[in-house]
A and B are shown apart, each in its own frame.
Chain A
Amino acid sequence: MKFRPVFWLLLPAVAVIFVFMAIPMLISLAYSFLTADTYGGVTSPPSVAAYVQLLFDQDFDGSLIFMPDYIWIIVRSVYLAVFTTVLSLAVGFPVAWYIVCQSPNRRKVLLTLVTLPFWINTLIRTYCWILILRDEGLINNFLKWTGIIHHPLPLLYNQGAILLGLVYTFLPFMVLPIYATLERLDPRLIEAAYDLYATRVQLFRRVVWPLTRPGVAAGVVLVFAPALGAFLQPDLLGGGKQLLIGSLIEMQFTSSRNWPFGAALATLVTLAVVVALAWQSRRSKPVEARV
Chain B
Amino acid sequence: MSAEIDAATGTRSTRPTAKRRPFDWRHNPGFGPFTLLVMLFLYTPLAVLVIYAFNANRMVTIWGGFSVKWFGAVANNGDIRHAAYISLLVGVLATICSTVIAIAAALGFERGGWFNGRSTAVGLVTMPLVVPEIVTAITTLIFFSAIGFHDGVLNLVIAHTVFCIPFAMLPIQARLSAVGNSYEEAARDLYGGEWRIFLRITLPLMVPGIMAGAILAFVTSLDDFLISFMVSSAGTTTLPVYVYGMMRLGVTPEVNAISAILLVVSAALALVAFVISRPREAAKAVAADTPQIAATS
Q: List the A residue with the shortest CB-CB distance to B255.
A: A127
Contacts of A131 in B (CB 8 A): 45, 48-49, 52, 60-61, 251, 256
Chain B contact residues: helix, strand, loop or mixed: helix
CA distance A98 to B29 in the complex (A): 10
Q: Does A171 contact B (CB under 8 A)?
A: yes
Residues of A with C-beta under 8 A to B2? 201, 204
Interface string of A9-23 (1 = CB under 8 A from B): 111111011101111
B162 and A17 within 8 A (CB): yes
Range of interface residues on B (Cβ < 8 Å): 35 or more
The reply to whether A128 and B243 contact each other, CB–CB distance below 8 Å, is no
Q: Is the pair A204, B42 in contact by a Cβ cutoff of 8 Å?
A: no
Residues of B contacting A171 with CB < 8 Å? 38, 42
Contact pattern, B 24-53, Cβ under 8 Å of A = 1, otherwise 0: 011110111011001101110110110010
Does A232 lie within 8 Å of B226, measured CB to CB? yes
Could you tell me the distance between the alpha carbons of A8 and B194 in the complex, rounded to whole angstroms?
15
Contact A119 B23 (CB under 8 A): no
**28 pairs across A/B with beta carbons < 8 Å?**
A6-B112, A7-B118, A9-B105, A10-B112, A11-B104, A12-B101, A13-B169, A20-B158, A24-B140, A27-B146, A28-B138, A101-B28, A110-B35, A113-B39, A117-B43, A119-B269, A120-B223, A121-B225, A121-B262, A123-B243, A128-B259, A130-B247, A138-B48, A201-B2, A246-B134, A259-B142, A269-B132, A269-B135
Given pairs A141-B61, A232-B225, 11 additional interface contacts (CB within 8 A):
A4-B194, A6-B111, A12-B100, A13-B101, A24-B139, A25-B139, A131-B49, A134-B61, A203-B25, A269-B135, A270-B132
Residues of B whose CB lies within 8 Å of any CB of A are 1-2, 5-6, 8-9, 23, 25-28, 30-32, 34-35, 38-39, 41-43, 45-46, 48-49, 52, 59-62, 100-102, 104-105, 107-109, 111-113, 115, 118, 121, 124-125, 127-136, 138-143, 145-146, 158-159, 161-162, 165, 169, 188, 194, 216, 219-220, 222-223, 225-226, 230, 240, 243-244, 247, 251, 255-256, 259, 262-263, 266-267, 269-271, 274, 278, 280
Q: Does A249 lie at the interface of the complex (its beta carbon under 8 Å from any beta carbon of B)?
A: yes
Bound complex: CA A107 to CA B59 (Å): 41
| With contact pairs A4-B194, A17-B162, A95-B34 given, residues A27 and B139 touching in the complex (Cβ less than 8 Å) | yes
Contacts of A121 in B (CB 8 A): 222-223, 225, 240, 262-263, 266
Residues of B within 8 A of A13 (CB): 101-102, 104-105, 108, 125, 165, 169
- Could you say which of A10, A120, A127, A277 has the most chain B C-beta atoms within 10 Å of its C-beta? A10
